[in-house]
Amino acid sequence: MRVLYLACVLFYGKAFAAPVQSHQSGGAEHIVIIDRDHPTPPHVAEVLDRLTLHEGHPDVRLIYNNSAFRGFAASMKSRCLDLLANMSDISVVEEATSVGRATLSKRQSSLGYDTRLNAPWGLQRISTAVTVSGSAKAMDYTYSYANSDLGQGADIYVVDTGIYTEHNAFGGRAKMAWSYNNDMTDNDGHGTHVSGTAAGDVLGVASNANLFGVKALDSNGGGWSSNVIAGIDYIIQTHDARKSNSSSTPPFLGSVISMSLASSSPVQAINAAIAAAISAGIHTVVAAGNDGQDACRSSPASSGGLRGPAITVGSVGMDAAHRSSFSNYGDCVDVYAPGEDVISAWIGGRDMVNSLSGTSMATPHVTGIVAYAMGNRTLAGNPGLMKEWVRMMAVSVGVGGGGGVVVANNGVRGGEGVAEGMLGFEKTGVGAGFRMVGGGAAGRLRRAVEEGMWRLRAFGAVKSA
């Protein structure tokens, strides 16, 4: 991306004094997020005016304006940054940084797409508590599920390289919704692969969910944090519009963001945007990253686990006894999911598939589980409770990376004859919390649900410095 430059040489007093010198060239792109908790949070135009900028200025590249957060991305020099640092109603000022897909392996030759009803190994892994064995390249595994709606009415937003919407795996349920550069084509394949695992007809978990491509990464799988945040801005606006449309058929259940990407270090602005999206009621599932290190050292991974409200996903192989050697781990990881030799949809033809590895591949398994679980309206409307449900349904399989590996599960423990994942919930009265209705895990989950409600309140108070 070509970076535009802007110099701000201003005098900034307590009353926002007028500039004494015009703009000059120079400066890197920065992301600015307005503090929504300020007693009188300003509009974007007001902040820009303080810097003698406006929305149509060539150095102002992106405007963020939704129900959860407001801000902008612009090329600015040190004087502008100094002014922003002294504004009490600004919560984040951060230089735009590069992000990339969280795929480990080199692309393999595309395989012919076989329209058998049998599933890839990852779908069996997330719907059983027993051992899965065989060839990862085979399509002879069994995917078990309790709710035949399979995500119908749920919207999945894949923040990635785009989606090849004409692929037969999507059955007309996929569309490109937004692109940072107005190119709605997936020229890389990564976003299509992720989408196939999340909601493909044969290859995916929530095979009746809607898929929306939000293109924030380029044809090489790289991009900028400012574009990722612009994509989240679009998603929040669209989610709000969907909620207000009561006549949609099938009825709208909710939205989940899937982010199979990673940065080289924590990005405060991305984490703040994710927290804002979750506070707006949007479930968010993110990749742990592929550096074999603490997931808290990158974004968006550091927005989940014990540190934040997102659901962060690490990778396991077929035996699931240990985390994948490349997978990040630690307090910021919630669960692990299949991320090695995962077969999914690919670009280049409507029947093409490909096998890839990485936490990018693990993430959409959990995205699909979340969309699937939205069949329970209580879970659908409460991202904090959904996060606890995902953690509670996970199966403890083995030990890796110095800690236990818990593998994501949709609640249908195929091979054990257990189907406890689609529990019902009902409100039992003021102050009484929630009572679990049906399912063998009712007593075991009650305390977790109560803790989950507390955690939701705690996460709701998170605010970036």
| Whole-number Cα distances in Å, 117 to 204, 337, 408 | 12, 22, 23
Residues 49, 77 within the same domain: yes
pLDDT at 377 over 70: yes
Confidence of residue 103 (pLDDT cuts 50, 70, 90): low
Q: Tokens at residue 151, please?
A: 């995500």
What local confidence, expressed as pLDDT, does residue 4 receive? 32
Residue 336: CATH number of its domain: 3.40.50.200
Q: Tokens at residue 343, please?
A: 């077969």
What local confidence, expressed as pLDDT, does residue 268 receive? 94
What local confidence, expressed as pLDDT, does residue 155 receive? 98
What local confidence, expressed as pLDDT, does residue 417 receive? 46
Over residues 308-314, the mean pLDDT reads 97
What local confidence, expressed as pLDDT, does residue 461 receive? 24
Residues 228, 79 within the same domain: no
Give pLDDT tens digits for 399-450: 444 445 899 999 886 555 444 444 433 333 322 233 333 333 333 444 444 4
Annotated active-site residue in 23, 30, 167, 190: 190
Establish if 102 belongs to a structural domain.
no
- Check the CA dihedral 367-369-371-376 and report its sign: negative
pLDDT at 278 over 60: yes
In this structure, the strands spanning 174-179 and 210-215 are: parallel
The total of other beta-carbon atoms located within 10 Å of residue 138's CB is: 11
Residues 2, 150 within the same domain: no
Pairwise pLDDT comparison (425 vs 8), residue with the higher score:
8
- Containing structural domain, residue 62: 1-96
Pairwise pLDDT comparison (2 vs 249), residue with the higher score:
249
Report DSSP state, residue 177.
E
Rounded-to-10 torsion of CA 62, 275, 384, 151: 20
What local confidence, expressed as pLDDT, does residue 25 receive? 53
Share of the chain above pLDDT 70, in %: 78
Annotated active-site residue in 263, 298, 360, 365: 360
pLDDT at 177 over 90: yes
Residues 13, 82 within the same domain: yes
What local confidence, expressed as pLDDT, does residue 440 receive? 38
Establish if 105 belongs to a structural domain.
no
Annotated active-site residue in 160, 188, 201, 218: 160
Residue pointed to by tokens 């949809």: 345
Q: Tell me which residue of 205, 198, 211 sits closest to 147, measured CA to CA.
A: 205
Residues 92, 122 within the same domain: no
pLDDT at 204 over 70: yes
Residues 217, 262 within the same domain: yes
pLDDT at 298 over 90: yes
Q: How far apart are CA 201 and CA 191, in angstroms?
A: 16
Mean predicted lDDT score pLDDT of the chain: 82
Residues 115, 63 within the same domain: no
Q: How far apart are CA 428 and CA 258, in angstroms?
A: 33
pLDDT at 263 over 60: yes
Q: Phi and psi (nearest 5°) for 442?
A: -55, -55
Over residues 274-279, the mean pLDDT reads 97
Establish if 465 belongs to a structural domain.
no
Pairwise pLDDT comparison (405 vs 331), residue with the higher score:
331
Establish if 40 belongs to a structural domain.
yes
Residue 7: CATH number of its domain: 3.30.70.80
Q: For the chain, state the CA radius of gyration.
A: 22
Pairwise pLDDT comparison (253 vs 2), residue with the higher score:
253
Over residues 175-181, the mean pLDDT reads 98
190: annotated active-site residue: yes
Q: Tell me which residue of 33, 43, 30, 20 sits closest to 78, measured CA to CA.
A: 30
Residues 70, 160 within the same domain: no
In this structure, the strands spanning 28-34 and 60-65 are: unpaired
How buried is 113 (Cβ within 10 angstroms: 0-12 exposed, 13-18 middle, 19+ buried)? buried
Give pLDDT tens digits for 38-76: 999 999 999 999 998 999 998 999 999 999 999 999 999
In this structure, the strands spanning 311-316 and 335-338 are: parallel
Domain total of the chain: 2
Q: Tell me which residue of 348, 364, 362 sits closest to 164, measured CA to CA.
A: 348
Residues 16, 158 within the same domain: no
Least confident of 131-140, 230-239, 352-361: 131-140
Give pairs for 447-451: CB < 8 Å, separation 24+.
448/388, 448/391, 448/392, 449/385, 449/388, 449/389, 449/425, 451/388
Q: How far apart are CA 97 and CA 266, in angstroms?
A: 10
